Amino acid sequence: MGNLQKQDLDWNFGKLPARELSGTTRGKNTKAHARRIAYFASTNRAKFTPLDMKTLRIIAVIFLFVIFFFVADSVAVGQDIADKRNIRTGWEIPTESYSDQPYIVKTNDGAWLCGVTTGVGREGASGQHVVTMRSTDQGKTWSEPVDVEPADGPEASYAVMLKLTGGRIYAFYNHNTDNLRRMIGDIYRVDSQGYFVFKYSDNHGRSWSEKRYNIPIREMEIDRQNVYGGKIQFFWNVGKPFILDKAVYVSLHKVGGFGYGTFTSNEGVLLKSDNILTEKDPDKIRWETLPDGDYGLRTPPGGGPIAAEQSYSVLSDGSIYCVYRTIDGHPVFTYSRDGGHTWDTPQYKMYGDGRLMKHPRAANFAWKCDNGKYLYWFHNHGGRFILEHPKRRGMAYDDRNPVWLCGGIEVDSPKGKVIKWSQPEIVLYDDDTWIRMSYPDLVEEDGKYFLTETQKDIARVHEIAPALVEGLWNQFDNRSIAGEGLLLELPKKEQAIPKQVEMPELNSFLVRSGQKADHGTKDLRTGFAIDLWLHLKKPSAEQILLDNRTENGQGWCLQTTERGTVEIILNDGRTENRWDCDPGLLQKGKLHHITINVDGGPKIITFIVDGKLCDGADYRQFGWGRFSPNLYHVNGDKMLRIAPDLKGKVKSLRIYNRYLNTSEAIGNYQAGL
C-alpha cells in the first residue's frame, strides 16, 4: 500500500454511526466520507505514491457509488409519506454533513441563493465553513457549493446574507481569523469568537470576493465581564439583516461566557451601516453598534441571563419589532420606534388574546410577508416547567419537534403599530421525536410559501400549504363552520340529539402494506376531530359525554375527569391512549365549545376550548399530547352513545374524518351554536 497507512484510512473513513439512519442520512455520511477522502488525498499528494493515490480514488468511487442506492432509498421513503408536514418529504439542500442556517436570498437573475454553515464534523468542529449554492427550481435541485471560506482555513460560521437592489450580495459571518485553538477555561470550541466579517458577490453568488472585511463591534459591559475582559469578544448571529430608512442593520448576539448549556449569558445588538447601500468600496463602509448605552437587548426585568437569537421585522410605520429566545419558558419581544437606538422594556410574547406564549431555548423567528402580514415560527411549550427546572440551561434546548406557526397582523397602539398574533398550527414535524429542526428561513415566490430548516445533519426546503397560512391570518374574523370531511352532525333539523346514533367508521391510522415485500406497516397519517357544544351542570369525574367502546374497551370515549377536565380515550384493542384539556377551563353551568383534534401525522392530540388552543398553562409544560405511533384505529361499537350519564347536556356534535386546523376549530366556535 506504499506510504498509505491504516491510520490514514481510519481517519478518513471514521465510523459510520451505529444508530439506525434514514436513507438520506446514510447517503450524507457516505458523501461526507468521500469528500473527506478527496480532500485528504489532495492535501497530502506529496506524501503518497501513485499506488496510494489510486487506492484512495477507488475508495472514494466506492463511497460515491453507494450514495446512489442510499439516495434512491431516501427518495422512496419521502414519497411514501402522505403528509407534507413531515420534514422527510422536503427537498434536501446538499451539505457536507453538519448543516446550519440554510438561509436564502433571491438573486437578480431569478435564482435562489442559499448560504449554509457546513463541515464534515459536528457543530463547532474544525473545518466548519460557509458555502453557498444556487437553485433555479425553487429548491428542488442545487448547484455545486461555492466556498465563501474554505474548509482548510480557520472556522467560518453562521452566515446571513443581504441582497441590495443593484444585485450585490453581502455575506456576514463569524471568522476565527487569529486561528485561536483554545480559550481560557479549556474551551476548545472557537466558532463563536474572533471577528465579525463580510464578503460580497457581484455575480449572483457564483463567486465571492477574495478579501474579507472586519466589522467593528462596540465593547459593552457583557464583553468586559468575559474571561478576557473584552479584549476578545464572544458572539455569533442567526438573525437576518434588514433595511430601514436607507440604512442596513445586521444582527449580532453577544456572549458573556461559556459553561453548562454552552453560553451562560447573551444580549442582542444591531450593527448599523448608513452608507452600505451606496458605497461600492467595502473599506469605506461605516458601522455603529446599537442600541445606545452599555448593554443590548435583555430579558424582561427579573428574567434570566439568556437573551439571544434576535429576529427583526420592520413594520409599516417604520417601527422595528424584535423577538428572541430565553431560558425563562417564554419568548421575548420588544419594539424600537427610533431606528434601534432605544427599545421598549422587553416583555414575554403574547397571543392576540393576551395569553403568554410558551417556547424553549430555540430559534423563534418572525418574518414579514409580501402582503404586509407576518408569520412566526416557534415550538409551543415551556412556561414555568423550563423556568423552574434546576438544569434549564441545558434541558431547554429539547423538544423542537413539532414546529408551530402563528400568523400576525398589524394593529394600532398608542405608541404606533404593533403585531397581533393568532393561535398556532403545526407546520412541520418528524416521526423521531428527538429530532430538533430549527434555524429556518421563509421564501415567497409565485404566490407560494416555502420554509427551510435544518436538524443539524440535513437541511431541507418545504412548500407550505397556502390554506394553512391564510387561515392563520383570517383567524380573528373566521366565523364559518368547517364542512370538509364532516361525517356526522347533530342535532338534525328540528330534532333533539338522540341518546345513541350509528357511528360512522373512522379512517385507520395504520394498515398492512400491500406494496412492501414484507407487508409491513403503512402509516396513512389520517386523523379525526370531534367538535361539540356542551353544558355541564357539574363537572365531576367520569361522566360520559360520548362513547363507542366495545366491552373490551376498543373504540373511543370522551369523559370528564377528577381534575375538572374533559379527556379523550383511544383504544384499538392493543394499546390505549388518553389526553385531556387544561384544568380550570370548564365551569359549572356554562356553555362550552370543545374541539378535540387527533392528528395522525405527528401523532398529536390537541384540545381547543372556547376558541383557545390548550397550551398547558401553569399545569403542564405541554398543552398538546402524543399518542402511540402503533395505534391502528379507534373504531369500536357500531353505535355511539351520547351523554348516557351526563349531568348536563350535549347541545351540538360534529365528527370529522380528518383533523381540523386550529383556525377551523376557532371558526366553528366563533360561528356560535
Task: For residue 213, list its beta bridge partners.
Answer: 198
Say yes or no to pLDDT of 436 above 50.
Answer: yes
- If one counts every other C-beta atom within 10 angstroms of the C-beta of residue 70, the result is 20
Pick from 160, 223, 149, 162: which is nearest to 193 by CA? 223
| 287-334: pLDDT as tens digits | 999 999 999 999 999 999 999 999 999 999 999 999 999 999 999 999
Cis, bond preceding 402 (omega within 30 deg of 0): yes
The pLDDT assigned to 375 comes to: 98
| Rounded-to-integer distance, Cα 578 and Cα 660, Å | 19
Confidence band, pLDDT 50/70/90 cuts, at residue 380: very high
Say yes or no to pLDDT of 68 above 80.
Answer: no
Pick from 384, 392, 390: which is nearest to 620 by CA? 384
- Residue 458 backbone dihedrals phi, psi, to 5 degrees: -130, 130
Position with higher pLDDT, 26 vs 276: 276
Say yes or no to pLDDT of 594 above 80.
Answer: yes
The pLDDT assigned to 12 comes to: 39
Position with higher pLDDT, 84 vs 45: 84
The residues spanned by each domain of the chain are 6-79, 87-477, 486-671
| 196-237: pLDDT as tens digits | 999 999 999 999 999 999 999 999 999 999 999 999 999 999
Mean pLDDT, rounded, for 48-53: 60
The pLDDT assigned to 663 comes to: 98
The dotted CATH code for 486-671 is: 2.60.120.200
| Rounded-to-integer distance, Cα 298 and Cα 296, Å | 6
| Rounded-to-integer distance, Cα 631 and Cα 508, Å | 9
Domain 87-477, CATH 2.120.10.10 — does that match?
A: yes
Mean pLDDT, rounded, for 108-116: 98
Say yes or no to pLDDT of 15 above 60.
Answer: no
Rg (CA), the chain: 27
Give the H/E segment covering residue 51: helix 50-79
The pLDDT assigned to 75 comes to: 45
Say yes or no to pLDDT of 354 above 80.
Answer: yes
The pLDDT assigned to 512 comes to: 95
Percent of the chain with pLDDT over 90: 85
Mean pLDDT, rounded, for 538-547: 91
| Rounded-to-integer distance, Cα 211 and Cα 200, Å | 9
Confidence band, pLDDT 50/70/90 cuts, at residue 82: confident
Quote the cell numbers at residue 117: 454553515
The pLDDT assigned to 132 comes to: 98
* Amino acid of residue 96: E
Mean pLDDT, rounded, for 146-165: 97
Among 24-33, 332-341, 615-624, which is the least confidently predicted range?
24-33
Confidence band, pLDDT 50/70/90 cuts, at residue 79: low
Confidence band, pLDDT 50/70/90 cuts, at residue 42: very low
Say yes or no to pLDDT of 14 above 60.
Answer: no
Query: DSSP per residue over 222-270, as a string?
Result: HHHTSTTTTSS-EEE--PPPEEETTEEEEEEEEEEEEETTEEEEEEEEE
| Rounded-to-integer distance, Cα 364 and Cα 440, Å | 9
Quote the cell numbers at residue 629: 405511533
Which pTM value belongs to this model? 0.90
Pick from 431, 482, 522: which is nearest to 85 by CA? 431
Say yes or no to pLDDT of 338 above 60.
Answer: yes
Confidence band, pLDDT 50/70/90 cuts, at residue 45: very low
**Alpha-carbon distances, residue 620 vs 114, 380, 385 (angstroms):** 39, 12, 7
The pLDDT assigned to 52 comes to: 61
Confidence band, pLDDT 50/70/90 cuts, at residue 168: very high
The pLDDT assigned to 540 comes to: 85
Say yes or no to pLDDT of 629 above 60.
Answer: yes
Position with higher pLDDT, 2 vs 479: 479
The pLDDT assigned to 494 comes to: 86
Confidence band, pLDDT 50/70/90 cuts, at residue 104: very high
Among 119-123, 456-460, 537-541, which is the least confidently predicted range?
537-541
